Each structure stands twice: as structure tokens, then as C-alpha cells.
Structure 1
Amino acid sequence: MARSKTSSPRSTPSAGRAGMIRLISGQWRGRKLPVHDVDGLRPTTDRVKETLFNWLAAEVRASRCLDVFAGSGSLGFEALSRYASYVMMIEKEPKAARQLQLNLQTLQCSQAQVICRDALQVLQAGCSEPFELVFLDPPFRKNLLPQVIPLLEQQGWLAARAVIYLERENDGEPPVIPPNWQLLKDKQAGQVCYQLYLRESPSA
């Protein structure tokens, strides 16, 4: 997903493509959406995004999606284009969150909500209606995944068989993954590694 990332130039695989995201497939195929010029914004590259949504071909339609660190909304908008039923986008940077809202208005899309708050605060508050698909692509080198992953499990954010996408820098310490998350896919592209997990109910 496109996210606000603070990273060195060599770890920014989308350098030179800031300012616009492109929707790959679905009802808005080929549409380009503006991205607010926020320092460190690092949209997921088209190459990685296409691989991810090939993995998710059977998972997106009619699913409830959570984009925890939305940034430019690249993954959330792609899910909406592919007929997700609802997408919650969490983005704490006000200008980036405002651009997400403007892009939803441009698309005349009412199946999404933008929450302009710190993701950890939102997740700590809990969730009464869990999500089937979750995008986890936090700012690089902030060590957020070890904090976010337990909150998703403990605060009711994940459906029994939720699918979780995780993207991170490949030179960092891997986060501890819950034992009930089954690794489905694992790839690397440049300075980024990304995985797809299937959550099993802890009581299963």
C-alpha cells in the first residue's frame, strides 16, 4: 500500500513515481489518482502490487478490508476497484488523509472510510466487526509491526480466516508472527520483502 515511510533514498523502490498512483484492474482500471506530496511517502510499486493482487484474486471481491497505514491508498483503492465491499483506511498525516478523502470523492465511492489518527491508537480501541483482508505496510524503520500485530489479534480486528498482507524492509528484524498465522506467500523485490498470511482461529 502506499504509505508514509521515512527511509533512505536507496530503500525507496518507487522513487521518481511520487505524485500519482495507478489502479491496475477492476472498475477503475487505468485510473490515476493524485498523491499529496508528503515527505517520505512510499507507494507500493506497481510490480509488487500486481503480484499481491494476483495472490488475492479470489479474496478481494465482497471482502471487508483494513488498510492500517494507508499513505497514498494504493492498496486500499485497488481493493475498492476490485469490488471490495468496504475499506477502512487509517492514515495519521492530515494532508495525506485529506487527499485520500478527495480521491474517494473523485471516484464517487462511498464504500470506504478514512480515519485520520495514529494507527496504534485506533487498533487499541478494538473492533466489533472484524475484517477479512488486512494490509500492513508501516513506515520503514519505525518498528511498528511488533506493536500492530498483537493488537490485531487481541482487539478483535481479524476474521477467523482473515488474510493479512505484510510489507517491510528486508534488512530489519522480522516481527514475531502469531502461531495461528499460516504463511502462504513470501517474496522480495529490491529493498522490500512482502508476505501473505492466512489466519486460523486461535481456538482451532
Structure 2
Amino acid sequence: MRIIGGSFRGRALAFVGKGDAGAHLRPTTDRVRETLFNVLMGGRYGDPITDMRCLDLFAGTGALGLEALSRGASHTTFVETGRKGQSLICENIALCDCKTTTKLVARDATRLPANPDAPYDLIFLDPPYAKSMGEAALKSALAGEWIAKEALILWEESAKIAPPPECELLETRKFGGTNISFLTT
């Protein structure tokens, strides 16, 4: 895994192998991340990255949030409950030398407390597939005021999603066995 574009372009991230099933790590492939960020940078959604605050729920390795930082996000908060994922995120933050623009929240994304900071504009939601955890995490993030009005949410899932009424589904793109749905609040 590596950072695809921006100021960290080409930096290798901590090695995960083919993922860590025990830790529920299933990193978004470089190819899917590249396509996803090409869509984001393509203008269809304005400029959803530059100077935006990014929230990476079920962050795993942190690759999505780091890619956003590399491309101009002002800050990324990673939410990850697994110790292996937390360790990889810390290692990747060090590899990208971006400790001052990141924060790691060691919590279950489905049980977020009230947000102590400003809300986030760009949200990556990559829960374990087919467990309805994305719905619970999004509900929790909305209730805790983690998500700004008119935020862009990118939800990676293997099956059809059920967005809450506060969110509007804009489109869904399929990448092999992965669906990425674009939503807004």
C-alpha cells in the first residue's frame, strides 16, 4: 500500500499483507483509492478535500484519511477500535510525518460520544462488510454532531446500504465486490 497522490505521493504505508481477518482489516486497494480520489478531485462534488476536516470511521490502516491529507485536507481524525489498526495508523502517521494534522480516537465507531471538536466535512465510512455497522456508525456520528451540514460521506460496503433519513444518496459506484456510495447531509 502506498499514498497515490498529493504531497505524500509514493510513500509506502505500513505492511498489512492481504489484510488481517482477525482484526477485520481489509485495506482499500491502491486502485480503488486512486479511482475514488479521481472522482473526488474531478469536480463533480466541487472541491471536497482542500482545507476540509476529514473523519475516517473504521479507519483500519488510515490510508483513506492519509490520502485526503496528502491531497490538501486540513485535518483527519481516525476512529478505530482494534489495537492492530490503531498500531498501523500510528505507524502510518509517522511515515507521513503528519502528527500535527491528525488525531486517533480509539473507540467503537458505532458508539461515538458527543464530538468535542468542530464537525467534519468529508467522511470515510468503511465498516466490516455485511454487518450493518455502517448504519449504526453513521447514526452515532450524526447524533454526536461529528458530521457537518452538507458534508460528503463515502461509504464502502459489499451490499446495498440503508442511509438514515438525514442523508441523501447521490450515487453508488461499483469496484469489483466493493460498492462506494456517495451521500450528503
Preserved contact between residue 109 and residue 140 of structure 2 (Cα < 8 Å): no
The equivalent residue for 2:173 is 187
1:69 to 30, 36, 58: 58
Preserved contact between residue 77 and residue 104 of structure 2 (Cα < 8 Å): yes
CA distance, structure 1, for counterparts of residue 2 and residue 16 of structure 2? 14
CA distance, structure 1, for counterparts of residue 153 and residue 162 of structure 2? 14
Gaps of 5+ in 1: 1-20, 200-204
1:111 maps to 2:116: no
Preserved contact between residue 35 and residue 72 of structure 1 (Cα < 8 Å): no
2:77 to 61, 64, 88: 88
CA distance, structure 2, for counterparts of residue 82 and residue 22 of structure 1? 14
The equivalent residue for 1:11 is none
Give the secondary-structure state (helix, strand or coil) at the position aligned to 2:110: helix
CA distance, structure 2, for counterparts of residue 36 and residue 46 of structure 1? 13
Q: Cα RMSD between the aligned structures?
A: 1.7
The superposition leaves residues 160-204 of structure 1 with CA deviations (integer Å, 9 ceiling, x where unpaired) of 11000011013xxx33223342333311122111111121xxxxx
1:142 to 131, 134, 137: 131
Identity of aligned residues (%): 37
- Equivalent residues, number: 174
TM-score, structure 2 normalization: 0.86
Larger Cα Rg: Structure 1 or Structure 2? 1
TM-score, structure 1 normalization: 0.78
1:42 maps to 2:35: no
CA distance, structure 2, for counterparts of residue 104 and residue 77 of structure 1? 8
The equivalent residue for 1:12 is none
Gaps of 5+ in 2: 42-46
Superposition deviation, residue 94 in structure 1 = 1.0
1:126 maps to 2:114: yes
